[in-house]
């Protein structure tokens, strides 16, 4: 194998595919490598940990077709370090030679026949709006759990909802629900559970392109955007009945400027240390935020707000509250509550397509 290309192009291919490379100890050594396949002027770089696979097509100046596996981190570090401009990669036996300007490197390659075979995605394809899907991932993915002992909660539910698609994630402390009306990907009561990590990686390559192609198989899903293909195994199992978590009616409703509340929470959080929650005191005269950490100090801030309902104090984990405010759009948000112990619902006043449900913290 031998090819030339711009350093920037090779760096992008290696770093993007490298996001799927395994970092787990004890895994097969070949899974720490990037599989390169050159056919003519097309270079396909692939990384996988068997659950997530990222493949990137790059146009290069091909001189000799071939297949190899380079150690991902080392190859990426070398390509990033060499001077900008043309770079040449040549595979000679069990060595890769990388040349750029006056810099020359050689490193041992990994036998290509040890790299797992990547299955081809289904032929049937569906088109999604890449920008809208990227925005929905930013709102929903952070609410998924990172605890692998509860694999169901590490996934994002993609389900048919009316004439569109609904994305749902929860870690049992908060719940994010985002609707994409008019996006007909699934029908009837169909749903799939996609690992949140895979969708997080997908969101990083969803910039600039207008169309996202989705190919759904029985056990996997493949997303294609430009020259990048992200494939992931689906999670098997039943997602929790999230609908039962959303209160059907909430008698108390707070409406407040989102930016003002966000900044106030960030300030008050400074004194919410050692897992201390932030108390929200809601009354007809407005909103007060309070954080008290024993032997450290306290913070108090008043904010103008519209409130209807009984005077109520509700406490929340400050990180979860901040996350909800950061991903909710619009100038104003509403916080709907039943009492101090039942889930609260955060919504945009102007955008009904997203809701963020947050469990209160019990305080004395």
pLDDT confidence bin for 276, thresholds 50/70/90: very high
pLDDT confidence bin for 170, thresholds 50/70/90: very high
End-to-end CA distance of the chain: 69
Half-sphere exposure of 30 (CA within 13 A, CB side): 14
Which CATH fold would you assign to the domain 127-241? DNA Polymerase III; Chain A, domain 2 (3.10.150)
What phi-psi label fits residue 297: left (phi over 0), alpha (psi between -120 and 50 degrees) or beta?
A: left
pLDDT at 25 over 70: no
Cα–Cα separations (whole angstroms), residue 145 to 155, 170, 196, 256 = 8, 7, 8, 29
pLDDT at 162 over 90: no
- What is the percentage of the chain residues whose pLDDT exceeds 70? 99
pLDDT score recorded for residue 247: 86
Radius of gyration of the chain (CA): 25
Give, in words, the CATH class of 2-114: alpha beta
Q: Residues 310, 254: contact at Cβ < 8 Å?
A: no
pLDDT average, residue stretch 151-174: 92
Q: Which residue has the higher pLDDT, 23 or 44?
A: 44
Helix (H) or strand (E) holding 15: helix 7-18
pLDDT average, residue stretch 293-318: 95
pLDDT at 146 over 80: yes
Give the pTM.
0.91
Looking at every residue in the chain, the average pLDDT score rounds to: 93
Q: Fold match between 2-114 and 127-241? A: yes
- The token duo for 92 is 């000679």
Domain boundaries, the chain: 2-114, 127-241, 246-358
pLDDT confidence bin for 26, thresholds 50/70/90: low
pLDDT score recorded for residue 208: 63
Tens-digit pLDDT profile for residues 340-352:
999 999 999 999 9
pLDDT average, residue stretch 33-60: 96
C-alpha span between 135 and 203 (Å, rounded): 9
Tens-digit pLDDT profile for residues 188-200:
778 899 999 999 9
C-alpha span between 260 and 336 (Å, rounded): 18
Q: Residues 127, 142: contact at Cβ < 8 Å?
A: no
What phi-psi label fits residue 41: left (phi over 0), alpha (psi between -120 and 50 degrees) or beta?
A: alpha
C-alpha span between 333 and 350 (Å, rounded): 8
Which CATH fold would you assign to the domain 246-358? DNA Polymerase III; Chain A, domain 2 (3.10.150)
pLDDT average, residue stretch 11-36: 89
Q: Residues 181, 166: contact at Cβ < 8 Å?
A: no
pLDDT score recorded for residue 333: 98
pLDDT at 184 over 80: no
Residues β-bridged to residue 126: 214
């Amino acid at each position: 194998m031998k090819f030339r290309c711009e350093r920037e192009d090779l760096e992008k291919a290696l770093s993007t595919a490298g996001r799927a490379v395994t970092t787990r100890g004890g895994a097969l050594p070949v899974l720490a490598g990037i599989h390169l396949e050159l056919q003519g002027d097309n270079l396909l770089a692939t990384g996988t940990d068997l659950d997530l696979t990222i493949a990137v097509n790059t146009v290069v100046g091909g001189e000799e077709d071939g297949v190899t596996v380079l150690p991902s981190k080392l190859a990426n570090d070398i390509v990033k370090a060499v001077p900008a401009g043309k770079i040449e990669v040549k595979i000679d036996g069990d060595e890769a030679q990388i040349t750029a300007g006056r810099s020359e490197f050689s490193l041992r390659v990994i036998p290509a026949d040890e790299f797992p075979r990547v299955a081809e995605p289904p032929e049937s394809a569906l088109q999604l709006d890449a920008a809208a899907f990227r925005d929905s991932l930013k709102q929903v993915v952070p609410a998924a759990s990172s605890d692998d002992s509860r694999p169901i909660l590490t996934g994002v539910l993609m389900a048919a909802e009316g004439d569109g698609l609904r994305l749902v994630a929860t870690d049992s402390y908060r719940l994010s629900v985002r609707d994409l009306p008019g996006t007909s990907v699934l029908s009837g009561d169909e749903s799939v559970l996609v690992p949140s990590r895979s969708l997080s990686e997908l969101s990083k390559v969803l910039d600039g392109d207008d169309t996202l192609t989705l190919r759904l198989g029985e056990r996997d899903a493949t997303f294609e955007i430009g020259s990048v293909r992200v494939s992931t195994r689906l999670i098997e199992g039943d997602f929790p009945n999230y609908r039962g978590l959303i209160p059907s009616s909430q008698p108390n409703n707070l409406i407040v400027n989102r930016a003002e509340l966000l900044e106030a929470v960030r300030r008050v959080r400074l004194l919410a240390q050692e897992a201390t929650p932030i108390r929200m005191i809601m009354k007809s005269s407005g909103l007060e935020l309070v954080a008290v950490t024993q032997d450290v100090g306290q913070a108090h801030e008043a904010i103008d707000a519209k409130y209807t309902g009984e005077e109520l104090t509700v406490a929340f984990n400050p990180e979860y509250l901040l996350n909800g405010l950061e991903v909710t759009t619009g100038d104003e948000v509403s916080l709907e509550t039943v009492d101090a112990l039942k889930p609260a619902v955060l919504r945009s006043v102007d955008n009904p397509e997203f809701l963020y449900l947050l469990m209160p913290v019990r305080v004395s």
